[in-house]
Amino acid sequence: MTYNKNIHINQVGYTKNDNKIAVLANVSGHFKIINVKNNQCVFEGDSKTCKNKGTSQNESCIDEASGDVVSYCDFSSVSEAGEYYIELEGQGRSYTFLIDNGIYTSVKNALLKGLYYQRCGVELEEKYAGPWAHAICHTNQAKIYNNPEKTIEVSGGWHDAGDYGRYATAGAVSVADILLSYELFGDVYTDDIQIPESGNGIPDALDEARVELEWLLKVQDNETGGVYHKVTTKYFCGMIMPEDEHDDLYALPESAVAAGDFAAVMAMAYRIYKKYDETFANTMLAAAKKAWEWLEKNPNIPGFKNPQDVSTGEYGDPNSEDERLWAATELYRVTGDDKYHLYIKEILKTDVDIVSFGWGSIGGYASFSYLRMAEQKEQVFDDEIVNVLKKAFLNKADELVSIANNDGYMADVLPKQYRWGSTMTITNGAQLLILSYYLTGNKEYEEVAIDQLHYILGRNPMGISYITGIGSNVVNNVHHRPSDADGVEKAVPGLISGGPNWSLNDEAAKSFIKEGTPAAKCFVDHVGSYSTNEIAIYWNTPALFVAAYADYRNSRN
Ligand code: G3I
Ligand code: 9MR
Ligand code: ZN
């Protein structure tokens, strides 16, 4: 029986007691759930049309984001663990999938290990990296861009994405995602994912995050407390292995967003690491305080822009209020120093972002941290602030639920939001939903968050799993220099593609994606399409956050 690529499923599977829905694109009919082991039909029914996914209505519905006429196979009543597929009467079958409770453990571990593959300044040994091993890279010192006679030691950290740049803001938020998931559901993180630190008695998630934290400490100016915005070459290199890039490295000028993210994540990391390594934790707290002092001395510094002779990633963000809010919140949480609380009260009188996650706008990290501080009664808190933050958070969660309920694939984004890094936008939404479920116990938030994992793993208009190495129909030609240059057919595993982007910002996208393609289908699994098919550490970490939560939740069901 042939595979019908219009049957879109979570290609990993579904957990035993969850809703289990497949989306049919432009097909419909009677379907059976077949148990692979004994070839028995364990459930059958008719696909339902859209709107209320559980009812059978006559009108078909065209999903705006994909242009698909969608209908649904609901087999939620099937709960026995096993391997299955969907047979659509007379129209082929789906890929196989699992029903079980441990299915997200491997997804979580793969996404975390994906960060190991991004390590810079070290050899990736075959013992841990398998065929994706490579020699040590980027050990050269970096010239201070504004004072190139002076160089600094900056080895370590993670390559940002498909390029070899290392960017303070992107790195800090990536670490924050890992630490926040550890803080809330750290039990799921083990010490055995086969990285060099495995078995050292510390969860590998914290070992991996420490790689970036130690690099971030190197890009802080110890005198001023300022944080260099990035360490990159002046131009993107060709599609070569990291150890073959020898161009000069530069530490580009300090920025407020770098200092803000740095101060926040260092204070956060102090809380998390102090029970494992007090000296390291204290170093990070001191660095956080110093970065805050730099912020106080630089209240109005303009946002970072690439100098004329530099064209690597910019991560331009003129608005540093949210980063400053996040820094103040995390520092207040660990010090109780009222100067931070006073800043929080002042900045909340503005329209500072308080609900976003990801790179750029990041106020959601601040809000949740303040709410968690209040809930844990860690410091004196302001009830009014709690009310304002919680209201904004839950309003955003309700907005995401409404968007997902009106989307043919239950994605928590509007068609216009399929831009560069749309899988991050989708999983950032899931992060907020999970945190909102934490704050309220509202099951709808949790269900819609898990729906985003279904999207990432195959239940999407492309019918593709967006995480390399996971799924039957899986992205592989990612814009990722090592994956392209290493001579290994399979991409480096555990890396999530940026996903559909209607802006078509690269030549490959322009040539392979036809004019007028619906937003959620503006994707091409081609190495040249960096605006739809690159990978990035801060795309991996929100997906890791969601997968870790799903694993945590299932270990309790
Ligand atoms: O979201 C706004 C939208 O509201 C606005 O109307 C529109 C106007 O053009 O811009 C939208 O912002 C887009 C933004 O991504 C958010 O999606 C920008 O157009 C788009 O240019 C921007 O792309 C960024 C890209 O670098 C180019 O600057 C990506 O977010 C960012 O993830 C990507 O990051 C690169 C690094 O620079 C280098 N390393 C690889 C990494 C991933 O591709
Ligand atoms: O590889 C680069 C990728 O990391 C960036 O996101 C992207 C946009 O800044 O640029 C990529 O580099 C390309 C450059 O912009 C144009 N020449 C080809 C480079 C490799 O695709
Ligand atoms: Zn490197």
Q: Computed from CA positions of residues 145, 149, 152, 157, in that sequence, does the dihedral angle turn out positive or negative?
A: positive
Residue 487 domain flag = no
SS (H, E, C) 445-495: HHHHHHHHHHHHCCCCCCCCECECCCCCCECCCCECHHHHHCCCCCCCCCC
- The answer to whether 269 touches 278, Cβ cutoff 8 Å, is no
Q: What is the domain count for the chain?
A: 2
Report DSSP state, residue 197: T
Check whether residue 152 and residue 50 sit in a common domain: no
**Does any domain span residue 498?**
no
What is the DSSP pairing of strand 97-99 with strand 13-14? Answer: parallel
Domain with 17 in it: 1-101
Specify the ligand 2 atom closest to the Cα of 481.
1
Which of 86, 101, 116 marks a domain boundary? 101
Residue 18 is a catalytic residue: no
Query: For ligand 2, is residue 163 a contact (CB within 6 Å)?
Result: yes
From the list 353, 525, 526, 551, the catalytic residue is 525
The answer to whether residues 80 and 177 belong to one domain is no
pLDDT tens, 421-442? Answer: 999 999 999 999 999 999 999 9
Ligand 1 center to 420 CA (angstroms): 5
525 is catalytic: yes
Question: Where a domain ends, among 101, 131, 151?
Answer: 101
pLDDT value of position 1: 78
Which one of the ligands is nearest to 165 CA?
1
Cα radius of gyration rounded to whole Å, the chain: 23
On whether the CB atoms of residues 45 and 73 are closer than 8 A, the answer is: yes
Q: How far apart are CA 148 and CA 251, in angstroms?
A: 9
d(C-alpha 399, C-alpha 248), whole Å:
46
- On whether residue 16 sits in a domain, the answer given is yes
- Which residues are CB-contacts of 490 (< 8 A; sequence separation ≥ 6)? 131, 468, 469, 476
Same domain, 359 and 392: yes
Q: What is the pLDDT of residue 54?
A: 46
**Of 333, 246, 320, 321, which Cα lies nearest the Cα of 288?**
333
Q: Are 155 and 245 in a shared domain?
A: yes
What is the 8-class DSSP label of residue 296? H
225 Cβ inside 6 Å of ligand 1: no
Q: Is 223 a catalytic residue?
A: no
In-domain check, residue 492: no
Tell me the whole-structure pTM to 2 decimals. Answer: 0.97
Cα angle 221, 177, 390; round to 5: 110
CA 159 to ligand 3 center in whole angstroms: 6
Task: Name the residue of 418, 420, 496 to mutate for ligand 1: max ligand atoms within 8 A of Cβ.
Answer: 420
The phi-psi region of residue 63 (left if phi > 0; otherwise alpha if psi is between -120 and 50; otherwise beta) is beta
Residue 522's Cβ-count burial label (10 Å; 0-12, 13-18, 19+) is buried
pLDDT, position 50: 65
Which ligand 2 atom sits closest to the C-alpha of 313? 9
215 and 297 belong to one structural domain = yes
Q: Is residue 197 annotated as part of the catalytic site, yes or no?
A: no
User: Cα dihedral sign for 242, 245, 246, 249?
Assistant: negative
**Residue at 465 is within a domain:** no
Residue 355: inside a domain: yes
- 330 in contact with ligand 1, CB cutoff 6 A: no
Nearest CA to ligand 1 atom 36: 313
Q: What residue has token string 């000069």?
A: 248
Tens digits of residue pLDDT in 196-239: 999 999 999 999 999 999 999 999 999 999 999 999 999 999 99
- C-alpha to C-alpha distance for 500 and 195, rounded to whole angstroms: 31
142-146 long-range CB contacts below 8 Å, 24 or more apart? 142/231, 142/249, 142/250, 142/251, 143/248, 143/249, 143/250, 143/251, 144/228, 144/250, 144/251, 145/250, 145/251, 145/252, 145/253, 145/307, 145/310, 146/253
Q: Give yes or no: residues 37 and 141 share one domain.
A: no
Catalytic option among 18, 163, 451, 551: 163
Same domain? For 90 and 117 the reply is no
**How do residues 292-343 score in pLDDT, each as one tens digit?**
999 999 999 999 999 999 999 999 999 999 999 999 999 999 999 999 999 9
Cβ pair 317, 360 in contact under 8 A:
yes
- Same-domain pairing of 83 and 114: no
Give me the CATH number covering residue 294.
1.50.10.10
Clarify whether residues 337 and 391 are in a common domain: yes
Q: Is the CB of 534 under 6 A from ligand 2?
A: yes
SS3 label, residue 234: coil
Q: What is the CATH number of the domain that holds 76?
A: 2.60.40.10
Whether 476 is covered by a domain: the verdict is no
**At which residue do the structure tokens 């969907």 appear?**
86
Residues 219 and 78 in one domain: no
Gap from CA of 420 to ligand 2 centroid (Å)? 13
Atom of ligand 2 nearest to the CA of 161: 4
Q: Say yes or no: 51 and 119 in one domain.
A: no
Q: Does the CB atom of residue 450 touch ligand 2 within 6 A? A: no
Residue 512 lies in a domain: no
Residue with the two structure tokens 């239950």: 410
| 204 and 277 part of one domain | yes
Does the Cβ of 160 fall within 6 Å of ligand 1? yes
Point out the residues of the chain with pLDDT beneath 50.
53-57
Please identify, among 101, 118, 138, the residue that sits at the C-terminal boundary of a domain. Answer: 101
